[in-house]
Structure 1
Amino acid sequence: MTFEEALSQIQPADHTAAQQAQQRWNSIAKPLQSLGLLEDAVISLAAMKRGKNIEIAKPCVVVMCADNGVVAEGVTQTSQEVTAVVTKNFTTGATSVCSMAQVAGAKVVPVDIGVSRDVDADGLIVKKIAYGTRNMAVEPAMTREQAVAAIEVGINTVIEFAQQGYDLFATGEMGIGNTTTSSAITAVLLHKSVSEVTGRGAGLSGEGLKRKIAAIRRAITVNHPNPDDVLDTVSKVGGFDIAGLIGVFLGGAVMQLPVLIDGFISAVAALCAVRLCPDALGYMLASHVSNEPAGKLLMEELNLHPFLTCRMCLGEGTGAVAAMPILSMACRVYNDMSTFSEIEIEDYQPLV
């Protein structure tokens, strides 16, 4: 499916189904709204799924892996080689998200969308747009056509796995330098100062943080990304992993399935997807608040309320996977618990 076809097929979530789910929660024999955000999440699931199969039966986490040319500016603690190593480790189960996914019963789907070298590993989906992006501090990170191609990788990955029965998609990523690109996109789209939205990533020193902020400022000055044109911004100061995740969010909306936002980088992609298609927001759930400076800002911009506040900033989709069991528990209560009428107790009424 092409990018344009996906945008044309996305329909708003079903508000009637949401209202029916709210009525179901109010009828369940427990204090009203006592599960808080978990009740809201199930209501959102009902709206996405048109009131059918309100459960999480077969979840997965799609991990977009790509390198970023801006690493040449000294904005990271480690070298680009780490991206390839960790990408391969996703296929052997030797990463944090793999361990967590085993507990959550989720499949890990690693996608090489732009790693700077070839990775030979069984189970790795290779959809490489290029061997990493160019250095955005010097020139545009990618072409507009490459950005669209990367988005289409994400869209079609979701469609493929949805056709295999997967019913919840979590967003993950791996790419040394991708908090730099995410901070750049955030600064542009939210009209914020670079220093306000840029953090230490994977443990930068004070001097390293200064280099990172300076590189982002140069990238914005050199490329003049248009804040009213998401594709222009992503292509000039973004990354293939972010573009791929934009596609995951759009693909979930096309298939009318929920997509869990992970942390900072996933939230940037979610914002881009919503700017491209506002109706895509109805198919997103927020898992946690990233410990990166812009994490809370992005959640506020999207008007989403995450389940978890764990000070996580690991990436890989770990925060989203951590939220999966909680979401499954909420669905179990919604589907299985008795109503007030079934146990012959008068319904709770909201206090005026």
Structure 2
Amino acid sequence: MTNRQIVVASLPQGALEPSHFELQDAEMPTPQDGEVLLRTILMSIDAANRSWMQGATYRDAVQAGDPMPTYAICEVVESRSSRCAVGDIVAVESVWADYVTRPAHKTQKLPRVAPLSHLLSVYGIAGKTAFHGLLSVGQPLAGETIVVSAAAGSVGSYVGQIGKALGCRVVGIAGGAAKCSHVVDTLGFDACVDYQAGGVFKALRAACPDGVDVYFDNVGGAVLETTLALMNERGRVVCCGAISQYDTTTPSGPRNLPGMVVVKRLRMEGFIVMDFAHDDAKATRALQTWVSSGQITVTEDIVEGLENAPSALIGLLNGDNTGKRMVRVGPDPA
């Protein structure tokens, strides 16, 4: 058996490029006592992958020469621990590789869901991020207006659909007419503003005649600045990500801070999905209910092949995905 892995050949100083990665042949890892050998099935592709290359965040910084970290769904193919059996499906902090070994106690056993990709999208990081961020941080009430940036993306698409299920008016912000049509026609948002068309403030104001009560921010920068100007008093801003700032050497922040926060008595709060892990079972139950009732449509963007992981991440940063992006490294178990 052979093993491939993708390492960070060099750290980017500007936009991420394929040359920053290198596909290598590696030795097949051998599990030690208490460890498992894992076959990678699906790898999550997230904007956070790029932020890890800029320095330490909620995890250690990625260095040149490191295998690229990822969150993955894997199959146990060899076990030296009573915690896991061969054939178990687990979630694990992993790297871009065909096979890895990990301590068994650091794996999370997953149910057999068909397709397994749903465990990375609606029932995985994307869905749980949307659920916890919106409900625990944004705290929307029925009848309020929610605005979601990156509305066609992995998290934003679920934020909007959850908001609709809760009885809110939901307005998305996305890039391009096709994505905006998808957000309204397929996902059921009330409206969507195309930031690529210009005139974002005017368009967003027209779409939110009663102002904005909750803004779920995935992009930062100019879109955050514009939306803050339309927030209602006592509004809540959920800071989930800042994808517009990750792939540049000249990041920009809103120029209306802290003024808008003070004048409108806004609350801005950042979060990481793991902060609410104690409520994951609650999130899963709710998400399953909404999927079963048709109130949530699952949209996934699956790129085939480990070798295509770099282009999948670069494309995500450029906004060419619709729904949760992931890379399929191997087939689901029979």
- TM-score where L is the length of structure 1: 0.28
- TM-score where L is the length of structure 2: 0.29
